[in-house]
Every structure is written in C-alpha cells, then in structure tokens.
C-alpha cells in the first residue's frame, strides 16, 4: 500500500488547526444513540461509505444486500478506490460543513491523528446501547488501535497483520523445518535459493516507504529491537536495529529475486504465486488467496501454509469503521457498522473469506470447517495476540515514510545500515518533538 505524498502536509495541518480552533462538534442530541424503535421513525437515508478496494470490500458489498433488505429505509453506497486516493478524500470530507461520507474506513496509522484532531465521533455510547454487541470480543490489539484518548473512535473492520507464508510442499520435499528464529530464517532462505533455476528463498518487499518498513520491522522485532522503548525514546538505530537491517540486506542480496528493490506486496505475491519463491512475509489473508483454486497460484493452490513470523512478534495492520464528526446520518451509520461487525454477521464474513477480527469467530469450529481450516485461524489468533502497529501517534504516517525511505537507501547500497538508521532516528526524534 503506497502512502500519500507529504507535499500537502503543510496545508492539511493548517486546515486541521483551523478545525480544532473551532472545536469539532459533539454528536447532536437528535442523533444520540437510540435503544429501540428507530425503524419506525427514521426517514429514508443514503449512507455514503469510502473504502479501499481489497478482497474484504467485495465480501462486505455482498453482505450489504442483506442489510438493505432488512432495513429498506437505508441505502448503502460504496465509494471503493485504491488506497492512495483515500486519505485526501477523507480529509476533505472532514473539513466540509457536512461530511461527504457518513462512514469512513480508517487505517491504523491515521487513527490517533484523526481522533485527536476531533475528526471522529466517539462510539462508546453507541456500543453501550447496542444489545449483544460484545465489544470485548474483538482481539485486544485490534480493539486498542481504535481507542484514542480513552474513547472508542473506531471498531475493527479487518486485520492485515503479517505472517510467514511458505511453500509447504517445498519444505516437506527438502525436509526443511519452518524457521522460528531470525537466524534460522535467514539461513533457510539462503539454503533454499537456487539462482540457476531462478528459484529464491524469499520474495521480499523493499519498496521505499511504507512497504519496506512494514516488512523489515518484523525482522527488527525478531532481533529484539523496536522503534521506541517504553519511555518513548527512539532506539531504532541501536545494536539490535543494525543487526536486523544487516540480516535483511543479506537476505535481499542472497535469497531474493534480482531487481526487486522496488517490490511491494503485489510483486512479492506474484512471485510466490508463480512458483518463484519459497517464502514471503506478508499479510495473513494472502494465504486464502494463494490457496484458492480460482486464485493467482493456479495449480500450486493448496501448497501454501501460514506460520508466525520468525521471532513470534509481528507487525499489526488494521482498518477500522468510523463515523466522521460532521456526518449527517450518525444513527443510521452506526446501525450499519454495528450490523456488519456483529458476532453473527462477522462470522459469515469470515467464512466467506474475510480477515478475522473477533476471538469468538476465530475459535469457532464451524468457521474452521467452512473456511480455511483450524491451523490457519489458530495461527492468525496467535499472530494477532502478539502484534504491534508500525507506529502510533499524530505523526505515525510521516514516521513510517521517513524510516522506510532510509531503509530502502541501505538496501540499495547508498548508505550503511548504521548510517541509514542513525538518519532515520534523527528524523523520527525531530517529528516527535513537534
């Protein structure tokens, strides 16, 4: 997922300050959560929803027909688009007198920024007024991303936490154990590489910016490092960080397809699907895509398996449903959000191939049977329970971009690992000091 360029940052921040000075309005009394009887009084409403074009969107769109049949006074209109177009459209909607979108999907790097700026409607009262919603059933780290300043600003839509996806048939044929440590992973992908036959141990994602940071931070966790320590000090350039980057570069030079410096997850997926690589660190929901008989892997479908990333701690990505502060139809918006994320409908979404978000759904034997098997779902739960976002705070998006730029420079050979991480650390410190 390429991130929006920061050339519009100054204008965005200026507009944000103006909005904050005017104080984002609280939900009007007329739109306070209702406990019942809403169907009898609600006028016909059209809900405009902005979403990214991903497999989960197709599932949500199919399920929405059921919601509209049960709620004939509510029409849901989706504006689905590539990721790069979303942020600017959402910001423009926030700053309008009345929101363009009644429901938005918030990527986790935006959550603190949007929530702290007053752009989002707190959902606590809506959740409390919704019978059997079971908010605590959302997996903890996913739930926590949507909580800003002690209030719930978004509820989970789907996760894109990273896991280790392997060609299980290759590992079995060669008698190779799936690696659980970073050292073993590096050695394994080098051993599995056969350059003469154009087969590589790892399809990597060193594309500058978000993609390389999203992949490499799993290596950083595996080496015992992190972006910040518990006191908020920048530690990305310590010994663990340098070791993790040196190992990543070693893997790129000796176990990744050639000329893949600008690859993101799309290119890595294509390499795996084409039988050119034995492993990749990627979104857990890519496993069902690869194993689908109608998917991109063709005859290789069924040969892929998901494991936790080496070291056990993964990068956590997630999208959340949220309601803009200036939305006109907040009750109807929550009615749809609470329906699509309810335990029963979420179970149906996951069986259809959606990325899991609720513990009860992930551990349901019926989901295992009708979905992708017990191993997949229990592995996803293990990944989610010990996962962490790339960055948090009002400047998460900017931090991700600057770190990812420096990482790519190191892989390209333009800087040493130490120099790249020192430069990244300096920029992150400057960003956090604002």
In the numeric block, the tokens 């029409």 are attached to 75
Give all domains of the chain, ordered by start, each with its CATH number: 6-159+318-374 (3.40.190.10), 162-315+391-432 (3.40.190.10)
For 17, the token pair is 């300050």
Using alpha carbons only, how large is the chain's radius of gyration in Å?
22
SS3 string, the chain, reads: CCCCCHHHHHHHHHHHHHHHHHCCCCCCHHHCCCCCCHHHHCCCEEEEEEEECCHHHHHHHHHHHHHHHHCCCEEEEEEEECHHHHHHHHHHHHHCCCCCCCEEEEEHHHHHHHHHCCCECCCHHHHHCCCCCCHHHECHHHHHHCEECCEECCEEEEECCEEEEEEHHHHHHHCCCCCCCHHHHHHHHHHHCEHHHCEECCCCCCCCCHHHHHHHHHHHHHCCCCCECCCCCECCCCHHHHHHHHHHHHHHHHHCCCCCCCCCHHHHHHHHHCCCECEEEEECCHHHHHHCCCCCCHHHCCCEEEECCCCCCEECCEEEEECECCCCCHHHHHHHHHHHCCHHHHHHHHHCCCCCCEHHHHCCHHHHHHCCCHHHHHHHHHHHHCEECCCCCCCHHHHHHHHHHHHHHHHCCCCCHHHHHHHHHHHHHHHHCC
For 276, the token pair is 């050119």
Where is average pLDDT lowest: 24-33, 195-204, 317-326? 24-33
Residue 375 reports pLDDT greater than 90: yes
Where is average pLDDT lowest: 6-15, 126-135, 354-363? 6-15
Using CA atoms, how far residue 423 sits from 209, 230, 246, 253, 283, in Å, is: 14, 21, 16, 23, 28
**Model confidence over 154-196: pLDDT tens digits?**
999 999 999 999 999 999 999 999 999 999 999 999 999 999 9
Question: Count of CB atoms within 10 A of residue 74's CB?
Answer: 22
Q: 24, exposed or middle or buried, with CB in 10 Å at 0-12, 13-18, 19+?
A: middle
Where is average pLDDT lowest: 28-32, 155-159, 243-247, 279-283? 28-32
User: b/e per residue, 218-243, with b = 16+ CB within 10 A?
Assistant: bbbbbbebbbbeeeeebbbbbebbbb
In the numeric block, the tokens 């399920």 are attached to 63
User: What pTM was computed for the model?
Assistant: 0.87
CA distance 242 to 250: 12
Half-sphere exposure of 335 (CA within 13 A, CB side): 25
pLDDT score, position 43: 83
Residue 22 reports pLDDT greater than 80: no
Q: What is the mean pLDDT of the chain?
A: 91
Where is average pLDDT lowest: 20-24, 41-45, 222-226? 20-24
Half-sphere exposure of 174 (CA within 13 A, CB side): 16
Q: Phi/psi class of residue 178: alpha, beta or left (left: φ > 0; alpha: ψ in -120 to 50)?
A: beta
**Model confidence over 296-318: pLDDT tens digits?**
999 999 999 999 999 999 999 99
**Model confidence over 253-269: pLDDT tens digits?**
999 999 999 999 899 99
For 41, the token pair is 């009084």
CA angle (379 as vertex; 180, 2 as ends), nearest 5: 85
- Mean pLDDT for the stretch of residues 112-136: 97
Residue 21 reports pLDDT greater than 80: no
Cβ-contact 377, 356 below 8 angstroms: yes
């Amino acid at each position: 997922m390429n991130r929006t360029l920061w050339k519009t940052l100054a204008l965005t921040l200026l507009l944000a300050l103006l909005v904050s000075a005017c104080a984002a309005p609280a939900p009007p009394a007329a739109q306070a959560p209702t406990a019942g009887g809403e169907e009898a009084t609600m006028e016909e409403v059209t809900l405009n929803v902005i979403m990214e074009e991903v497999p989960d969107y197709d599932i949500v769109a199919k399920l929405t027909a059921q919601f509209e049949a049960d709620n004939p006074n509510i029409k849901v209109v989706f504006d689905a688009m590539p990721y790069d177009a979303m942020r600017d459209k959402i910001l423009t909607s926030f700053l309008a007198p009345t929101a363009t979108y009644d429901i938005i999907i918030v990527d986790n790097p935006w959550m603190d920024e949007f929530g702290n700026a007053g752009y989002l409607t707190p959902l606590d009262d809506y959740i409390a007024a919704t019978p059997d919603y079971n908010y605590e059933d959302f997996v903890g780290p996913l739930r926590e991303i949507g909580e800003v300043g002690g209030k719930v600003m978004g509820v989970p839509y789907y996760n894109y936490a990273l896991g280790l996806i392997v060609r299980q048939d290759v590992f079995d044929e060669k008698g190779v154990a799936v690696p659980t440590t970073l050292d073993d992973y590096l050695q394994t992908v080098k051993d599995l590489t056969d350059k003469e036959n154009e087969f590589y141990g790892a399809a990597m994602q060193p594309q500058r910016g978000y993609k390389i940071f999203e992949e490499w931070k799993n290596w950083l966790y595996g080496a015992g490092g992190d972006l910040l320590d518990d006191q908020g000090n920048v530690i990305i350039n310590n010994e663990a960080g340098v070791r993790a980057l040196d190992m990543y570069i070693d893997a790129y030079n000796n176990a990744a397809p050639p000329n893949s410096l600008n690859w993101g997850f799309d290119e890595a997926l294509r390499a795996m699907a084409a039988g050119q690589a034995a492993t990749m660190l990627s979104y857990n929901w890519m496993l069902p895509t690869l194993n689908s008989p109608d998917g991109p892997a063709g005859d290789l479908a069924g040969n892929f398996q998901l494991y936790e990333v080496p070291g056990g701690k993964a990068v956590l990505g997630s999208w959340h449903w949220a309601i803009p502060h200036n939305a006109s139809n907040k009750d109807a918006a929550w009615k749809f959000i609470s329906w699509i994320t309810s335990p029963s409908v979420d179970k149906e979404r996951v069986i259809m191939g959606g990325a899991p978000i609720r513990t009860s759904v992930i551990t349901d034997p019926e989901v295992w049977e009708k979905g992708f098997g017990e191993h997949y779902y229990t592995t996803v739960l293990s990944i989610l329970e010990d996962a962490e976002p790339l960055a948090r705070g009002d400047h998460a998006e900017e931090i991700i971009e600057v770190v990812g730029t420096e990482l790519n420079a190191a892989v390209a050979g333009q800087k040493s690992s130490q120099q790249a991480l020192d430069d990244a650390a300096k920029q992150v410190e400057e960003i956090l000091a604002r």
